[in-house]
Amino acid sequence: MASRTSKGNVTQTERDKSGSKGGKFPVFDHKSAMSAIKLRHNGKGISASAVLAKVSRWANENNDDAVKNAVAKAREVDKSK
């Protein structure tokens, strides 16, 4: 099953399966993980730390070092605010 449409958007079934709290911030590949990190402060009803925790969990399960490093940098930025 395709996770993205022909335009590159996330499909509704993938959003329901891998998103949190109503399909927000679906994380199922590298691109979606990096997008979730970048947009973590834009969600209503979910905290930035919850988004980072979800992305970090995905990165650990999939051994994605680039995402792990991005999560660490994002946490440092959030601490300094």
CB 58 within 8 A of CB 67: yes
Q: What is the amino acid identity at position 39?
A: L
Q: How far apart are CA 6 and CA 66, in angstroms?
A: 26
Q: What is the amino acid identity at position 19?
A: G
pLDDT at 15 over 60: yes
pLDDT for the residue numbered 2: 65
pLDDT digits (tens, 9 = 90+) for 23-74: 788 888 899 899 999 999 998 888 999 999 999 999 999 999 999 999 999 9
More confident residue, 26 or 18: 26
Domains in the chain: boundaries: 12-80
pTM of structure = 0.83
